Amino acid sequence: MLLDVQDLAKHYVLGEGFSNLFGLSNPQKIRAVDGVSLRLQPGEVLGLVGESGCGKSTLARILVGLESPSSGALLFNGNDIAEDIKSNRKLFHQKVQMIFQDPYGSLNPQHTIEEIVTRPLIYQRLGLSKAELRERAIAALNDAEMMPAERYLNKFPHELSGGQRQRVCIARALVLQPDLIVADEPISMLDVSIKWSIVRLLKRLVKERNIGLIYITHDLSSVPAICDKLAIMYLGRVVESGLCDDIFKHATHPYTQALLAASPNPNPDIRRGRPNISGVIPNASDIPAGCRFHPRCPNAQPQCEMEQPAERHKGYHRAECHFAFDAKTEVTNRA
Amino acid sequence: MANNQKEVLLEIKNLDAHYNVDGQPVSALQDVNFAIQKGERVGLVGESGCGKSTLLKAIMGVLAPNAQITRGAIKLREVDLLQASQEQRRQSRWNDIAMITQSALNALNPVHKIGDQIIEAIQSHRDVDKQQARARATELFELVGVPPQRLDDFPHQFSGGMRQRAVIAMALALSPEIVLADEPTTALDVIVQDQIFERLDLLQKEQAFSMILVTHDLALVVESCSRIIVMYAGMIVEKGPTHEVVRRPFHPYTAGLRYAIPDPSAEYEPISIPGAPPDLSQQIKGCRFAPRCPLATSKCELEMPPLVSSLASDAARQTRCHHADQMDQLRDRFHDQSFWQTAKTTS
Amino acid sequence: QGEKVPPVDFLTWPAAKYQHYYETSSYIADGWRELGLEVNLNPEPFPNPMLGKWFSEHDFDVVMSVLSGAPYRMEPDFFTNAQFNSAHSAPGDWNVGEFADERVDELGEKQLAIYDADARRDVILELQEVLYDLQPEAVIGSAISTTAINTDNLEIPGYVPAPDGLRSIWNQLEMVSLTGQAVKMGQTIDQASFNPLAANIAEDFNNLSLIYDRLIELGPDGKPRNRLASNIKIVDETTIDVTLREGHTFSDGNPLTAEDVKFSFDYFKEWEAAYYKKYLEHLDEVIIQDDGTIRFKLTEAYAPFILHTLGQVFIVPKHVWGSVIEDTGISKPQEFRNTNPIGSGPYSLNYWKEGQEIYFTRRADHFMKPKSDLLFVIFGSAEVVGAALKKGDIDVSLQPLVPTVVGEFEAQENLKIFRTYPNGYMSARYKASGEVFKHKALRQAATAAIPYEKIVDEVLGGDATRSASSIVPINAFWHNDSLPLPEYDIEKAKKILVDAGFTWDENGALHFPE
Amino acid sequence: MRRFLVKRLWHAALTLFVMITGMFFMFRLLPGDPTATVISPALYPKAQAALKVQFGLDQPLWIQYFIYLKNLTVFDFGVSFHTLRPVAGEIGNRMVNTLVLILPSMIFAYFLGALVGAYMAWRRGSKAEGLLVLLATALQSTPVFWLGMLAILFFSLKLDLFPVGHIVSPGKFPQATWQMYFSLDFLHHLALPFMVNVAYQFCFPFLLMRSTMLSTIGEDYIELARMKGVPENKILYHHAMRNSLLPLATTLPMILGWAVAGSVVIETVFSWPGLGLLMVEAVGRSDYPVVQASFLLIAVLTVGGTLLADLMYGLLDPRISYN
Amino acid sequence: MLRTFLNFFSIVWRSTAGKISLIVFTICMSLAVLGPIAAPFGPTERVYDATGNLVRLAPPSWDHWLGTTLLGRDVWSQMLWGARPALTIGLLTALGTVVIGVNVGLLAGYLGGAVDSFLMRLTDIFLGLPFLPFIIVLLSLTGQNIWTIILAMMAVMWRSTARIVRAEVLSLRERQFIAAARTTGASDFDIIYREVAPNVMPFALVGITFALAWAIITEASIGFLGFGDPNVVSWGSIIYDAYASQMMYRAPWWVVPPGIAIMILVTSVYFMGRAYEEVVNPRIKQAV
Ligand SMILES: Nc1ncnc2c1ncn2[C@@H]1O[C@H](COP(=O)(O)OP(=O)(O)OP(=O)(O)O)[C@@H](O)[C@H]1O
Ligand SMILES: Nc1ncnc2c1ncn2[C@@H]1O[C@H](COP(=O)(O)OP(=O)(O)OP(=O)(O)O)[C@@H](O)[C@H]1O
Ligand SMILES: [Mg+2]
Ligand SMILES: [Mg+2]
């Protein structure tokens, strides 16, 4: 097991601190991630999908060690990440890399491509010579399909197109030869015409190198092309997870169903129905009691308001809904 | 109006426009021709930077100061807006043509209440007092599904979806005949996007305005527009009834766009179009898509193809490609990424 | 060959604010360099730290000493014994050059005990002669200060050439306004305090003496004149009787009595009013003989007592000051603001707009017979004062005019120029205890290497009087006019050095005798 | 909001306290003996000692410090070494004089600068704009005292239009000080320094307003307003200027404190009996109770101004919620 | 670092205004370097005519391009000598100011928390200080020479740069490339000085120009108030000299040139800063 996340939570508390001495504030608790369990094998791509604000990025930041969880366990190659970070932060960062959403913002505008790609090696204090650094940068850029790499070494990020920038980000992530890559919406800011080359690149790297990839997106339509497994998040929790195919074909959580229904389809011959959920995702500081989805759920029952649903499963396919896998609520998606 | 014969509301003729950047012209629009009929919804798609917003701004008459329209006409019911006086244009804006802008977050003035911003739009054109204008704003908010008491909120107090609705409400304030929507939902989640389109559909049915929908997302156009215009690098490369264009693209670019969208019902993997759009500050003689096009020949590089009817049976079906006639045979190959890779720019 | 003479540290004034002083020192330095001395001008910001180096630390080889004149400094002791008696070499005292000479000390002590002016004069003249030979300082001279009045608005029929010119009370009493309004006088310094115990700058004392009377007032000629006193009798060396002018009153109508006089002297001494401390040092007791006579008992003979003590202590009303601490809750009388001063002087304070104007109303019934009201206007710079005078906004400029503009003022019809010869003077004061200037010959040679004429012409614009002695010619009675003015004579200077065994090396640098 | 206010007030108080302390010890611990001039070294040693006692300088430093703090709590700033008067009275008058010069000219300059800056941004690229920017920069680059001297040279001496300095004509001083500020004569004296100060202070708001306006003009909401058919001049004032005013309006209170501090030079040139002139004089005489109190006053102005600016920000910009 | 500097000049050179200011500034710089060599007379040298008379208050002539002072000094020579202190003081102060300001801003902005609170309170304190009077006090206490002037100005001027840089760092800190650096194992030091610092360099450069402009004017003001280095002739002290000699309205040739020189120099500095700023960052507002 490359990654094993168990009941992970991240709560932010706002309005604490010194001024609270005067008792003037009532601290606000934001439950950004609220009990998430995930598993990932090497060579697998796990998709993480959910509406804006559901905690995807927070989860990603915890996974790469940018933030520490409030509770729960995070095992990486069987070791607790918290321990890893404590004992050797640098080594941990060598193994887990992240690719960000904004290919411009995640590249330092003042650095050349060569600097950007070699910086991780420098920060790791690997003691490489200048020539070795350059060599590894070129190799990483080639891996990211920036060819010929030499041509780009002295360029600045603003001289590259969005797709090229995202490749540089990938090269930077690759240069340390990580075991796990977390990609937070890596293609959402790219033009349609080039999105898929990036997706394909990531998929190829995962398979070739047998590494793990967590692919975060809010766009369900991009998922089948890359993911093996899928987890749907809602308000800090995974409400449905399983193999990609299973979920697309037999989505059981009403939220997943709504997400699927809301995505427009480019095929003029298919008419989709409109999702029948209402309202917007509530604030993470104000999570509804009972099933957190009940205020928007078309099937909500009094029970949903009262108790938090337990996880139900059918093989690898799991869902957190009182009525999951019940025949009458199951909607078979258009084939 | 009584009969079925659709009348042409807005007609763009041979429009050329460029931006001056450091003394260099950047050709943002070239030879743009199309017409909108009453009540119809037209989708305008194309990659980022292909001139979609420029076109809409040209129609609204709010181009940046460094932009210049060098040729053509924008006719609203036979009146050429480009010939009209400043004051006439001002009067006509919002009254006849309103716009839903690309980013609703920035389009609302952060220091004024949303209600006041709507009222301002009304009072700039109608001789009504504040009460009446406010009554109209209330009505509009109900129309777009926002509680009217929130008229007194400031923009930052709205969520993205609500802001977008507020902008839609504002666009409808004077019951314009044409609404230009510039990527109204790009920044929003799918579910919210869906809710907004549901509302728009409803409103359009009720108020019978025409609409140009600008978007990156072909799927959205397929679902909501009867006609589509595909732009590439400042030019219209293909246009026609949406379903027909999507089913049977005659321009390689359209085909590329089509197959770059994942289609859960189809067996192909989405493709990507290698390369990037051309630098518009350079003079381009031939077809602007030629460098990325797997069909490109030397003719394409030298000669700009005209926008002509590609289907004898339908004059509205137009394509700008020298090889449109080959498309029927080659179309299937565009599913295949390796076919695209044969284009010139691929490294 | 002896040791090379070390570089001379010449403490001087900052060029920016005290241009003339700085320039004078720079001319002097140029002259000395011709003797083979290495001179480093060390302009220090004034007042701080320059005053500290000058008076407390004595941190210099030579200092550009500029001592201002004031009427009480006409007292001959001030510029002679006080400055050069070796007993006064402590930090903060006046013998900043730590000059020590037995003969000087002896003559200095002697003159202090002689009340008879003529007899004392002989000693003073001799003292000057001795000092002239020993050269504890090179006297340059004193700059004439030129001021002007507007004759359209003002007449001064009884003008006397006092050392403090138009600032002198004798001249201010004589000012006659032609406009019927107060005489408007421009200056740049505001009154600091109307509390006579707290005052310590010259301008403060000037204005205080308009409000308060003293027993004695210094005449423009430097001789004491009776003011509140009608007669002074030296009973013996340590006993002086003063008879009080009769029938005089304070401005609030209360009569001025011997009680008030005794009170004032006792009060100033008791509360250790800083400025008067030195002058009251020798006062032992004040005794009221009768209504009109007061007896002063001294601890020892002190000739300057008349001028320095009787002529400085203001007579303040006992009925005000006697209870001022209780009335106002302050801890010492120095803290009393005294914004509504009650005095017996020829003027009373009408108003004081701090930093802006001070208006004195004349007391017509006063025995000194003031002619007009006086209005002092405080400007931010001397330049503006001059401009205001030219424009007719003010009648008198108390601020000296720069020599170069005098012509311009003279040319204007309605302006009249007054030249004042002050009793202060400029000198290069040697540190006689220091390594360099402990040599008498070197001091004498240096004195002969100063380009006096150039300094007077170029720096002081010709408006200066030279002097051979620290008691300058304006103080005619005490000044020793038999001493020849030192002249710039580099050959003579070199000869003095050669005679004393000084030598020069091949670079022309001066070496001490072996 | 309340929380924010308490926090900011606490910060302000802390800032002032540290300043007071720092200032107190700075004068006493830095090299150079500030008492050297108050207690003139030219005085006899005994007299010096007497003065030291009079000023309480014979006490240990920390006792002096606590006495100083204790007195501050009742707004007693001590006694001027020079005039022996309570510092508060000493400064009060001068402060008023400075404010009557600085405040109106600052406000006027800001007003003018904002208007002209906004208008010039609206007409960006025009000849007038280029010229004004050059002029404003040149003015900003000119030492204000020199500007004042030229103004006196030209307007007072050449044209004889204004007095060369001072606050009222000699002898025209009215009995009550407040009356002075309403006299024509005072205005006549105020005119020239006022104009010079306006010319000098104009640059900053002008350039700031212009540059903020330039970025505001590019904002989407300006474009939307234009699309809405809002008349141009309304866009300029209601949208563009309203938003651009934010940074400018909020700098005003803070700049005010600085302007008072900076009045030193202008007051020197125009012999204006204000706080600036007093400070320079006091520094020259090492009258540190006066200097300390003046600094404290300016610090209160600046710190208070900053506080005000923050509050104003919240008032003017609805996006700020003080959380 | 060097890259940023070269970049600075190339960007400034791009606009016309920038070009002119760069030329003017270079001329001033070379005056500062060569001035003392080119000056016909020493800064305090008195000039005598053939007959041995002091040439005082001579209006501009062929022999004395800008006339002479009250004490017969050549104003043109003084102007040449005065360029060096103006620029030395200006440049050193600006450099020091920016070094302090940038570091304070970087540390406060990036480290946040207690460090930030402390540094920002400190900045607040300095912001509350009356600029010119405070410098004068420092000078009167520590003595008046070029170095104390530089130190005193530095002590007060870093505050604005620190604030601007901190604000920028706060927003940079949230940028993804910082998170990216962290995920590759960069230490705080790495991030502050290798990732964030290059991005505040443009601010630092703009800061340098504004600080330079300020320092030159402040030096002149200090000189004018009579608190300048008494041994150095600077443009400010020339004006003061004329003022103190009461010649400011009588000898325009003495007063006008230093003022104009300051104006031209400072204007060119401002324009350079602005030309650069407009290109690199429209967000940098006038340094307050
Ligand atoms: N540092 C933080 N302090 C307080 N709240 C935070 C913080 N970071 C995130 N949150 C809150 O946690 C919730 C989840 O945020 P997160 O960024 O993980 O969402 P997301 O799913 O990535 O959304 P998006 O699709 O918009 O990127 C949000 O409500 C957000 O406001
Ligand atoms: N003010 C301007 N000055 C110079 N060039 C501009 C300006 N505005 C747009 N352009 C250029 O004109 C071209 C068309 O821009 P436009 O904004 O119309 O594209 P778009 O299709 O709306 O793109 P997007 O999908 O990113 O909104 C682009 O190359 C853009 O860089
Ligand atoms: Mg996110
Ligand atoms: Mg656009």
What's residue E283's pLDDT?
45
Domains, chain A, ordered by start: 41-71+80-227 (3.40.50.300), 247-335 (no CATH)
Lowest mean pLDDT among A18-32, C286-300, E127-141: A18-32
- Average pLDDT (E95-102) is 93
One-letter amino acid at D141 equals S
**Mutation target vs B (from A146, A167, A191; most B CBs, 10 A cutoff):** A191
Atom of ligand 1 nearest to the CA of A236: 14
Q: Does D242 touch chain B (CB under 8 A)?
A: yes
One-letter amino acid at E135 equals I
What's residue A332's pLDDT?
44
What's residue B347's pLDDT?
39
Chain C: list its partners (3+ Cβ pairs within 8 Å): D, E
pLDDT in tens, C95-138: 999 999 999 999 999 999 898 888 999 999 999 999 999 999 99
Question: Are B95 and B219 in a shared domain?
Answer: yes
Q: Does C329 touch chain D (CB under 8 A)?
A: no
- pLDDT(C190) > 60: yes
Question: Are B85 and B190 in a shared domain?
Answer: yes
Residue of A nearest to B275 (CA): A194
Residue of E nearest to C383 (CA): E246
pLDDT in tens, C41-55: 998 877 767 888 888
For ligand 2, atom 12: residue with the closest CA: B28
The verdict on residue B2 lying in a domain is no
Count the helix, strand and coil residues of chain A and give each as a percent rounded to the nearest 5. Answer: 35, 20, 45
Residues of C in contact with D174 (CB under 8 A): none
Rounded to an integer, what distance in angstroms lies between the CA atom of residue A116 and that of residue A106?
A: 10
Percentage of the residues of chain E whose pLDDT score is greater than 90? 32
Cα B28 to averaged position of ligand 2 atoms, centre (Å):
7
Domains, chain E, ordered by start: 2-48+66-287 (1.10.3720.10)
**Mutation target vs D (from C83, C357, C405, C408; most D CBs, 10 A cutoff):** C357
On the CB side of C123, CA atoms within 13 Å amount to 23
- pLDDT(A318) > 50: yes
One-letter amino acid at A288 equals P
On the CB side of C389, CA atoms within 13 Å amount to 36
Question: Are B288 and B203 in a shared domain?
Answer: no
For ligand 1, atom 13: residue with the closest CA: A32
For ligand 1, atom 30: residue with the closest CA: A53
Highest mean pLDDT among C465-474, D15-24, E231-240: C465-474
Q: Does A283 touch chain B (CB under 8 A)?
A: no
Rounded to an integer, what distance in angstroms lies between the CA atom of residue C149 and that of residue B254?
A: 98
Structure tokens at C168: 């002198």
For helices E235-244 and D144-151, what crossing angle results, to 10°?
40
- pLDDT(E105) > 90: yes
The verdict on residue B345 lying in a domain is no
pLDDT in tens, D195-243: 999 999 899 899 889 888 888 888 889 989 999 989 988 998 889 988 8
Chain E: list its partners (3+ Cβ pairs within 8 Å): A, C, D
Q: Does A221 touch chain B (CB under 8 A)?
A: yes
Question: Are B149 and B196 in a shared domain?
Answer: yes
Answer yes or no: do E240 and C16 touch at CB < 8 A: yes
Residue of D nearest to E270 (CA): D137
Looking up tokens 């070094």, which residue turns up? Answer: E99
For ligand 1, atom 24: residue with the closest CA: A52
Question: Are B209 and B278 in a shared domain?
Answer: no
The sign one gets for the Cα dihedral E89, E91, E96, E97 is positive
C-contacting residues in D 87-106 (Cβ below 8 Å):
90, 93-94
Q: What is the dihedral of CA A243, A249, A253, A257, to 10 degrees?
A: 130
On the CB side of C509, CA atoms within 13 Å amount to 12
Answer yes or no: do A66 and E201 touch at CB < 8 A: no
- Extract the runs of DSSP E, i.e. beta strands, from chain B: 8-21, 24-37, 41-45, 67-76, 79-80, 97-100, 178-182, 210-215, 227-232, 235-241, 308-311, 314-319
Tally Cβ neighbours within 10 Å of residue D243. 23
Percentage of the residues of chain A whose pLDDT score is greater than 90? 37
Question: Are B170 and B285 in a shared domain?
Answer: no
Rounded to an integer, what distance in angstroms lies between the CA atom of residue C222 and that of residue D268?
A: 38
DSSP H or E segment with residue D180: helix D177-180
Phi, psi of B42 (to 5 degrees): -115, 135
- Average pLDDT (C184-192) is 86
Answer yes or no: do A66 and E176 touch at CB < 8 A: no
The verdict on residue B172 lying in a domain is yes
- Average pLDDT (E28-41) is 88
Domain count, chain B: 2
Question: Are B65 and B130 in a shared domain?
Answer: yes
What's residue D162's pLDDT?
87
E-contacting residues in D 277-296 (Cβ below 8 Å):
279-280, 283-284, 286, 291, 294-295
Kindly give the pairing relationship between strand A229-234 and strand A45-50.
parallel
Task: Give the CATH number, domain containing residue B32.
Answer: 3.40.50.300
pTM as predicted = 0.84
Residues of C in contact with D270 (CB under 8 A): 380
What's residue D47's pLDDT?
65
- pLDDT(D2) > 50: yes
- Average pLDDT (D311-317) is 78
Which ligand number lies closest to the CA of residue B21?
2
Question: Are B265 and B304 in a shared domain?
Answer: yes
Residues spanned by the domain of B36? 8-225
Which ligand number lies closest to the CA of residue D223?
2
What's residue B1's pLDDT?
39
In short, whether A196's Cβ falls inside 6 Å of ligand 1 is no
Looking up tokens 């009554």, which residue turns up? Answer: B135
In short, whether A156's Cβ falls inside 6 Å of ligand 1 is no
- Residues C346, C373: contact at Cβ < 8 Å? no
pLDDT in tens, A117-169: 999 999 998 888 999 999 999 999 999 988 888 889 999 888 888 889 999 99
CB under 8 Å to C153, separation ≥6 — which residues?
A: C177, C178, C179, C183, C184, C392, C395
Q: Quick one: DSSP state of residue B315? A: E
Rounded to an integer, what distance in angstroms lies between the CA atom of residue D16 and that of residue D22?
A: 10
The verdict on residue B55 lying in a domain is yes
Rounded to an integer, what distance in angstroms lies between the CA atom of residue A301 and that of residue A293?
A: 11
Task: Give whole-number Cα distances, A327 to A230, A250, A313, A324, C6, in Å.
Answer: 22, 11, 14, 9, 111
- Residues C373, C181: contact at Cβ < 8 Å? yes
Q: What is the dihedral of CA D109, D111, D113, D118, to 10 degrees?
A: 180
What's residue C294's pLDDT?
94
Count the helix, strand and coil residues of chain E and give each as a percent rounded to the nearest 5. Answer: 75, 0, 25
Structure tokens at C271: 């509360």
Question: Are B247 and B162 in a shared domain?
Answer: no
Residue ranges per domain, chain D? 100-156+190-316
In short, whether A233's Cβ falls inside 6 Å of ligand 1 is no
Rounded to an integer, what distance in angstroms lies between the CA atom of residue A303 and that of residue A309?
A: 9
- pLDDT(D37) > 60: no
Length of chain D: 323
The verdict on residue B63 lying in a domain is yes
The verdict on residue B1 lying in a domain is no
Question: Are B324 and B199 in a shared domain?
Answer: no
Q: Of the CATH numbers 3.90.870.10, 3.40.50.720, 3.40.630.10, 1.10.3720.10, which one belongs to the domain with range D100-156+190-316?
A: 1.10.3720.10
pLDDT in tens, B9-23: 999 999 999 998 878
Pick the closest to residue B101 from B57, B147, B38, B36 (CA basis): B57
- pLDDT(D53) > 80: no
Rounded to an integer, what distance in angstroms lies between the CA atom of residue E169 and that of residue E109?
A: 5
Residues of B in contact with D238 (CB under 8 A): 112, 120
Quickly list DSSP for D90-110: HHHHHHHHHHHHHHHHHHHHH
DSSP H or E segment with residue C313: none
Q: Does D224 touch chain B (CB under 8 A)?
A: yes
- pLDDT(B236) > 90: yes
pLDDT in tens, C54-74: 888 899 999 999 988 877 788
Cα B49 to averaged position of ligand 4 atoms, centre (Å):
7
- Average pLDDT (B125-152) is 91
In short, whether A218's Cβ falls inside 6 Å of ligand 1 is yes
**Mutation target vs E (from D145, D150, D155; most E CBs, 10 A cutoff):** D145
Answer yes or no: do E127 and D286 touch at CB < 8 A: no
CB under 8 Å to D176, separation ≥6 — which residues?
A: none
Pick the closest to residue E73 from E263, E209, E242 (CA basis): E242
Structure tokens at D110: 């800001």
What's residue C490's pLDDT?
93
Distance from CA of E180 to the nearest CA of A (A): 6
Please tell me which of the candidates B190, B192, B261 has its beta carbon nearest to residue A266.
Answer: B261
Which ligand number lies closest to the CA of residue A61?
1
Pick the closest to residue D248 from D220, D216, D200, D296 (CA basis): D216
Answer yes or no: do B121 and D243 touch at CB < 8 A: no
Chain B: list its partners (3+ Cβ pairs within 8 Å): A, D
Question: Are B188 and B256 in a shared domain?
Answer: no
Lowest mean pLDDT among C105-109, C245-249, D60-64: D60-64
Among residues B198, B225, B252, the one where a domain terminates is B225
On the CB side of D175, CA atoms within 13 Å amount to 1
What's residue D12's pLDDT?
87
pLDDT in tens, A287-314: 888 899 998 888 888 888 888 888 888 8
ω into residue A275 within 30 of 0, thus cis?
Answer: no
- pLDDT(D284) > 80: no
Rounded to an integer, what distance in angstroms lies between the CA atom of residue C474 and that of residue C481?
A: 11
For helices C102-112 and C117-134, what crossing angle results, to 10°?
160
- Average pLDDT (C180-204) is 85
* Residue A335 buriedness (CB in 10 A; 0-12 / 13-18 / 19+): exposed
Residue of C nearest to D80 (CA): C192
What's residue C275's pLDDT?
80
Pick the closest to residue E246 from E233, E255, E256 (CA basis): E255
Cα E282 to averaged position of ligand 2 atoms, centre (Å):
19
Question: Are B330 and B187 in a shared domain?
Answer: no
